[in-house]
Structure 1
């Protein structure tokens, strides 16, 4: 008698293990199957009695005893439908796993320094303050050009920006009393030319602190006396002069004194030669900011070339412009400095004094001419009288 056809469930394992693809081939069995002892087939009566006893025990032991029957009654279509329902969840899980894997790989690459989002964000953050710095810099330049910054009061007076309360007293005194004041004395001009040439090796505060040594070595800057100095004695190591400047500078000072004497013979004075380049009138620059003050100018270049042509040494355009500033040939005080107007007043007074001296010299010349003419007239009269007396009637 044939029973009902058995339906194989998809979720229940087969009673016998399937062949596995192992090095031994398809005939090889699993370890569990090999270890399981073979049992003799039961007879129909014995098998039926045992199955009925086991079913009764299962029903009495657990309420879900009929679960195997329920699972076995599932159709193939319901199993396929369940498989289709589980497929999207598996795909989403795989996607999430792949995204996590990609994130891990991305972070690992970032940790090695090859690529990383944090670096991009940091670059963006760094670009923002950089643009901010540029904007603030532009605003600062505009504000500087728009309005003049207030200068600090030094000893109750407004001075040039490079003179501060911490400036050395000798340099501050030089700024307040000498720098920019017109000079018309040959010895003084020669001294300022020497001190300006020393700027190639020293600074103004150092030069001014050793000014008494310069005057002692170079005989109060008398061109006639300096031109007669022995160069070998001046440049010998250990001398006072060698402690001030280098050997080429010392030799250049003596040579420049000799050339000044030639200029005096040609122009009458070194002062007349220097002031002829500016038409005997100082140049007023009217600078508002320190950055506007130049290092050299075309006028300084012209003077430098003429001095070099005459045989002067160490008289480059930068040195000559420093000489022009110190000697008052140009007024480079800032317009906010109290010495700006003072130097203009000193220049006007010196020009008036020069005009008065010129007027006196002209008047003396006219007097000489007049006296000469009177003498000539008197001589003519005496001659005419003598001729008349000697004349025969």
Structure 2
């Protein structure tokens, strides 16, 4: 005998509720279909994530205006972004472009908005600008030699004192001084460095007699035209080059002191014999324009 049909509390047959079951089944299918599509969303998020990161990036630009970075548009760039993380990308971009200042310009990575104003002015107005005045060249050579004991920030803050002690870096005037007359009241440099500047002034005078000017002698090493670097990142800027080593050897041969290759390369950067502003720095193109205007 077959079992009687089940009924609910109202006596209605449960079989009459089959459409409800079918409706639930349709909902279940809908939920199942939605669940199957859910795994697609992470890829969409990843694509959106790359796009968001790209909005923070830009090609090397001297302004703070940002544009999409080419790395974000390539599949290899996306994989690299996922591997290294967005923080690493932002770090590289900061090193490449430098900080964005209130004036809307980008500068080299060694200058920040928190830097001293004299340091920022040094970067904006002097560093990388071709110098052809003998006194100014000797001043920058002497200050570069002082980097063994002081930082550029300290040197710039005491620059007026340096000029007073060393008579505006006039090689002829300095060469007539003695060690007793060159004593520095505020201990600008060690006695050894002070003597080096005195000796170097004598050698500069000899070079002027031989070549007509210190300018002609020193610029001859770069064929009287600044070397234009194309560094995107600060880590790509060298501490010395083969050219700096060549100049250093010749200066040492002539009796100069405190003129190591690193000192000479710092001098070359400061005096504009080489333009080492990062390509994203607004001064990179300005220094190139100054060079073209002089030549």
Structure-1-length-normalised TM-score = 0.51
What's the CA shift string for 1:131-178, capped at 9, x where partnerless? xxxx9996269x759x84554321321111111111011110000000
Secondary structure of the equivalent of 2:182?
Answer: helix
Q: 1:191 is matched with which residue: 132, 136, 139?
A: 139
Distance 2:83 2:244 in 1: 33
Match of 1:45 in 2: none
Distance 1:144 1:347 in 2: 34
Distance 2:279 2:218 in 1: 25
Q: Which has the higher contact order (CA 8 A, sep 6+)?
A: 2
Match of 1:139 in 2: 84
Q: 1:228 is matched with which residue: 151, 171, 176?
A: 176
- Structure 1: gaps spanning 5 or more residues: 1-134, 352-393
Q: 1:200 is matched with which residue: 125, 148, 154?
A: 148
1:148–1:288 Cα contact (<8 Å) kept:
no
Matched, 1:279 2:223: yes
Displaced runs of 4 or more, over 4 A: 135-138, 147-150
Distance 1:161 1:230 in 2: 41
Distance 2:85 2:193 in 1: 43
Structure-2-length-normalised TM-score = 0.68
Matched, 1:247 2:191: yes
Report the RMSD for the aligned CA atoms in angstroms.
2.3
Matched, 1:324 2:268: yes
Q: 1:214 is matched with which residue: 154, 158, 162?
A: 162
Q: Could you tell me how far 1:212 is from its partner in structure 2?
A: 0.3
Matched, 1:153 2:100: yes
Matched, 1:336 2:273: no
What's the CA shift string for 1:105-128, capped at 9, x where partnerless? xxxxxxxxxxxxxxxxxxxxxxxx
Match of 1:64 in 2: none
2:127–2:269 Cα contact (<8 Å) kept:
yes
Q: 1:137 to 1:246 in 2, by over 3 A?
A: farther
Matched, 1:305 2:249: yes
Q: Could you tell me how far 1:320 is from its partner in structure 2?
A: 0.3
Distance 1:136 1:335 in 2: 23
Distance 1:289 1:313 in 2: 32
Match of 1:171 in 2: 119
Distance 1:251 1:259 in 2: 13
Secondary structure of the equivalent of 2:180?
Answer: helix
Give the paired residue count: 212
Distance 1:344 1:140 in 2: 36
Distance 1:283 1:182 in 2: 11
2:171–2:205 Cα contact (<8 Å) kept:
yes
